[in-house]
Structure 1
Amino acid sequence: MIIGIDLGTTNSAVAIWRDGQSELVPNALGELLTPSAVSIDDDGQSWVGRAALDRLATHPSETVTSFKRRMGTESKATLGKRSYTPEELSAIVLRSLVDDVEAATGERPTGAVITVPAYFNERQRRATRRAGEIAGLEVDRLINEPTAAALAFGLIDKEEREPFLVFDLGGGTFDVSIVEMFEGIVEVRASAGDNRLGGDDFDDVMVKLAEPKLDAADVLDRLPNDRRAALMQLAAEKTRCALSSQNKADFRIAVGDEEFTAEIDTQEFEEAAEALVRRLRDPVIRSLRDSGVDVESLSDVVLVGGATRMPVVRKALTRMFKRFPNSTVHPDHAVALGAAIQAGLLSDGEGLEEIRITDVAPFTLGIEIGMDDAYGGRVNGIFSPIIERNTPVPVSRMQSYTTSEDGQRQLKTGIYQGEARQVANNVKLGELVVPVPPKPRGEVEVEVRFTYDTNGLLEIDVDIPETGFHKNVVIVDEEDKRSRKEIDKSRKALEKLKVHPRDEQVNVAAMQRAERSYEGFTGPVREYIGRSLDNFKAALEKQDPRVIADARESLLRLIDEIEANPPI
């Protein structure tokens, strides 16, 4: 059985595809959401979910939450007598969800589709995959959270939809995706996000707002720092949730027999959270820019994630998009339901035969290069993109480079993921070292091709036309548990992508027809066809299927018009 899991910062959920629909599985308490919390005492006894969260206020040194924010880092949390990585803590939650599915269905799941924030980098994705494997699961696919939510939204009525925006604000992360649905295809046009923005940050604002009002400084100062922080965190979350349905709420903490309260109203909270609300704009603008979609063209703004319940967020979105956002899908359930749909697709689930999804590369992939400056010097450590962010995957792109020094005998460069100009600010994925013939600088051409699939497999081909040298490198996590057979299968599927668009039959045919038409006319008409042909060739060099298709259609339409009504 393959299950769908929303591994969240605040809460996690699991769903299955059964009897033609996606269905959430309740935990042992009958709840559909399991808090992403783990508590372990010195004797090794452990608590997960609601039970762990209940211990946060009383045993903060033995309890940890929000560890998803530290995925892919070397951060550790000490619980009981040992330290735990974020992957291990996530695995404990995942194992609890697997137990819930087994209890509900009588069958223990062996595979899973696990969701990740769209803006998780490769290091964070690998960490998530490892968490699933530690939990005893075969991680069949990682799927971006807004993509999963879009699947859930799209299968409500299975109707075609113009581009819509998925606004996913959870407990610890924020994602935006532009999605389009047509002919059974769910196509992600662009994604953007902020891995350090979520409900937790609004809780921090709430704490700063309430603390001066509590009149409990003496009592709080006597508490250990971890106990104090836990009390304030829990109170902040409850107050924030209360303000989602009322104009005023009490921020309430209890220390021993004493209780302290501070009244917080919606207006002051919104004013205090203004800086966070402003941060929501940049990913929205970036996703619209990358997708080429303007605000007026959006058919819907779909809300996902528990933090979207906050009136301050909904008001900001209403102002931003000049319309009320859509909350048709349950903000806490949509991602898990979508993950189960993907699980159903992988296992040929009933009713999903005609559904396909396409996603995009969340970050730009490229290599390190050096460049000459205006004063005759050399600047190294520059990032050269090969696959740009928000390119539909699977994808293959090639760039040509030349040697930078006289007599250079090898090319040594790093492979990076990110958006920064300096490679030092991006994530290093690997390294390339290839021999080159010693010649004057700039005379040896090196072709570098990146091929990337939906599972995060990055294959790199390096060719030196002058010598016929070829090198193939596969960037795979050193702890990737996929078998060599599975990796080879993925590589074989990518082989057909390794054709430059100018060599694809449909584009070759279009160029040949344009060349024949060019030869058949003279004067201004010939010049017009020539310019159009040049524009099409320029589009081919961009290697963007959407741009190429539009340019090809425009070229062929022009030739049709000229040949149907030739000038006398």
Structure 2
Amino acid sequence: MIIGIDLGTTNSAVAIWRDGESELVPNALGEFLTPSAVSVDGSGQSWVGRAALDRMATHPSETVTSFKRRMGTESKATLGKRSYSPEELSAMVLRSLVDDVEAATGERPEGAVITVPAYFNERQRRATRRAGEIAGLKVERLINEPTAAALAFGLIDKEEREPFLVFDLGGGTFDVSIVEMFEGIVEVRASAGDNRLGGDDFDEVMVKLAEPKLGASDTLDRIPSDRRDALLQLAAEKTRCALSSANIATFRVTVDDEEFTTDIETQEFEEAAEALVKRLRDPVIRSLRDSGIDVESLSDVVLVGGATRMPVVRKALTRMFKRFPNSTVHPDHAVALGAAIQAGLLSNGDGLEEIRITDVAPFTLGIEIGMDDAYGGRIGGIFSPIIERNTPVPVSRMQSYTTSEDGQRQIHSGIYQGEARQVKNNVKLGELVVPVPAKPRGEIEVEVRFTYDTNGLLEIDVSVPASGYQKNVVIVDEDDKRSQKEIEKSRAALEKLKVHPRDEQVNIAAMQRAERCYEGFTGPVREYVGRSLDNFKAALEKQDPRIIADARESLMQLVDEIEANPPV
């Protein structure tokens, strides 16, 4: 059995594909949401979920939450007598969810589709995959959270939809994706996000707003700081949730049977959270810009994630998009339900035969290069993009580079993922070392091709035409438990992509037809066809299928018109 898991910052959920539909699985308490919380005492006894969260106020030093925010880092949390990595803590939550599925179905799942924020980098994705492996699961696929939500939204009525925006604000992360659905294809056009923005940040604002008004500073100062922070955090979350359905809520903290309260009004909370609300705009604008779609062309704005219940967020979205957002799907359940749909696809589930998902590269992939400055010097550590962010995957792109020094015998370059111009601010994935013939600078060309698939497998082909040297590098997670046979199957599928668009038959045929048209006329017609042909060749060098398809269609329409009504 393959299950779908929403591994969230605040809460997690699990769903299965059964009897032609996606179905949430309740935990031992009968709840669909399991808090992403872990507690371990000095004897090694552990609690996960609601029980762990309940211990936070009384045993804060033994309890941890929001560890998803630290995925892919060296951060450790000390609980009881040992330290735990974010992957290990996440694995404990995953195991709890697997136990719930076994209790509900009588079958222990072996595989899982696990969701990740669209803006997770490769290091964070690898850490999530490792968490699944630690939990005893074969991670069949990592799927972006907004993509999963789009699947759940799309299968409500299975109708085709013009581009819509998925706005996913959870407890610790924020994602935006532009999605289109047509002919059974769920196509992600662009994604953007902020891995350090979520409900937790609004809770911090709530604490800063309420704490000075409590009149409990002397009492709170007398208790350990970790317990103090836990009490305030729990109170803040409850107050924030209460403000989602009321204009005023009570912030309440109890210390040693003494209760301290203060009322928080919606308006003052919204004013205090204004800076966070402004941060929601940038990913939205970036995703629209990258997709080439304007706000007016969006058919819907779909809300996902528990933090989207906040009126301050919904008001901001209504102003931003000049319409009310769509809350058809359950904001807390959509991601898990979508993950189960993906699990059903992998298991050939009933009713899913005609659905196909296309996603995009969340970050730009490229290599490190050096550049000449305006004063005859050399600038090193510059990032040269090869596959730009939000390029549909699987994808293959090629760039050419030349040597930078006379007599250079080797090119040594890092492989990076990110958006910063300086490679030191991006994520390093590997290295390339390429021998080259010793010639004057700029004479030796090196061709570098990146090929990337939906599972995060990055294959790099390097060739030096002058010497015939070729090198192939595969970047995979060192803890990737896929068999060599499975990896080779992925590589074989990618091999079909390693053709430059100018060498594809459909583009060759288009250029030949346009060349014949050019040769058949003189004067202004020949000049017009020539310019259009040059534009098409320039589009081919962009290596973007959408740009190429549009340019080819325009070129063929021009040729059709000329041949149907040739000038006299």
Shorter-chain TM-score tier? over 0.9
Aligned mates of 1:164, 1:394 — CA distance in 2: 22
Cα deviation per residue 1:461-508 (whole Å; 9 max; x = unaligned)? 000111111100000111211111111111011000000000011001
Cα deviation per residue 1:67-93 (whole Å; 9 max; x = unaligned)? 000000000000010000000000000
Q: What is the percentage of aligned positions where both structures have the same residue?
A: 90
Aligned mates of 1:284, 1:39 — CA distance in 2: 36
In structure 1, the partner of 2:531 is 531
Aligned mates of 2:18, 2:539 — CA distance in 1: 45
Aligned mates of 1:563, 1:493 — CA distance in 2: 39
Code of the residue aligned with 1:489 in structure 2: it is K
2:333 aligned with 1:333: yes
Give the CA deviation at 1:141.
0.2
Give the CA deviation at 1:563.
0.7
In structure 2, the partner of 1:515 is 515
Code of the residue aligned with 1:313 in structure 2: it is V
In structure 1, the partner of 2:50 is 50
Q: Any stretches of 5+ residues in structure 1 without a counterpart?
A: none
Q: Kindly report structure 1 stretches of 4+ aligned residues shifted beyond 2 Å.
A: none
Give the CA deviation at 1:321.
0.1
Give the CA deviation at 1:522.
0.4
Aligned mates of 2:347, 2:493 — CA distance in 1: 19
Give the CA deviation at 1:529.
0.2
Aligned mates of 1:269, 1:507 — CA distance in 2: 57
Aligned mates of 2:343, 2:477 — CA distance in 1: 23
Aligned mates of 1:355, 1:476 — CA distance in 2: 27
Give the CA deviation at 1:57.
0.2
- What TM-score does the superposition give when structure 2 sets the normalisation length? 1.00
Aligned mates of 1:128, 1:257 — CA distance in 2: 41
Aligned mates of 2:54, 2:108 — CA distance in 1: 28
Aligned counterparts, 1:363-402, within 5 A:
363-402=363-402
SS in 2 for 1:118: coil
Aligned counterparts, 1:42-441, within 5 A:
42-441=42-441
Cα deviation per residue 1:4-27 (whole Å; 9 max; x = unaligned)? 000000000000000000000000
Q: Any stretches of 5+ residues in structure 2 without a counterpart?
A: none
In structure 2, the partner of 1:504 is 504
Code of the residue aligned with 1:357 in structure 2: it is I
Cα deviation per residue 1:261-282 (whole Å; 9 max; x = unaligned)? 0100000000000000000000
Aligned mates of 2:447, 2:126 — CA distance in 1: 28
Code of the residue aligned with 1:457 in structure 2: it is L
Aligned mates of 2:30, 2:505 — CA distance in 1: 57
In structure 1, the partner of 2:457 is 457
Aligned mates of 1:257, 1:83 — CA distance in 2: 33
Aligned mates of 1:478, 1:97 — CA distance in 2: 26
SS in 2 for 1:351: coil
In structure 1, the partner of 2:3 is 3
Aligned mates of 2:366, 2:415 — CA distance in 1: 6
Aligned mates of 2:39, 2:341 — CA distance in 1: 32
Code of the residue aligned with 2:74 in structure 1: it is E
Code of the residue aligned with 2:167 in structure 1: it is F
SS in 2 for 1:397: strand
Code of the residue aligned with 1:456 in structure 2: it is G
Aligned mates of 2:345, 2:468 — CA distance in 1: 42
Code of the residue aligned with 1:349 in structure 2: it is G
In structure 1, the partner of 2:563 is 563
Code of the residue aligned with 1:51 in structure 2: it is A
Aligned counterparts, 1:538-553, within 5 A:
538-553=538-553
Code of the residue aligned with 1:462 in structure 2: it is V
In structure 2, the partner of 1:481 is 481
Code of the residue aligned with 1:367 in structure 2: it is I
Aligned mates of 1:369, 1:387 — CA distance in 2: 15
Aligned mates of 2:131, 2:88 — CA distance in 1: 6
Aligned mates of 1:379, 1:545 — CA distance in 2: 33
Code of the residue aligned with 1:69 in structure 2: it is R
Number of residue equivalences: 568
SS in 1 for 2:429: strand
CA RMSD in angstroms comes to: 0.4
Aligned mates of 2:410, 2:61 — CA distance in 1: 53
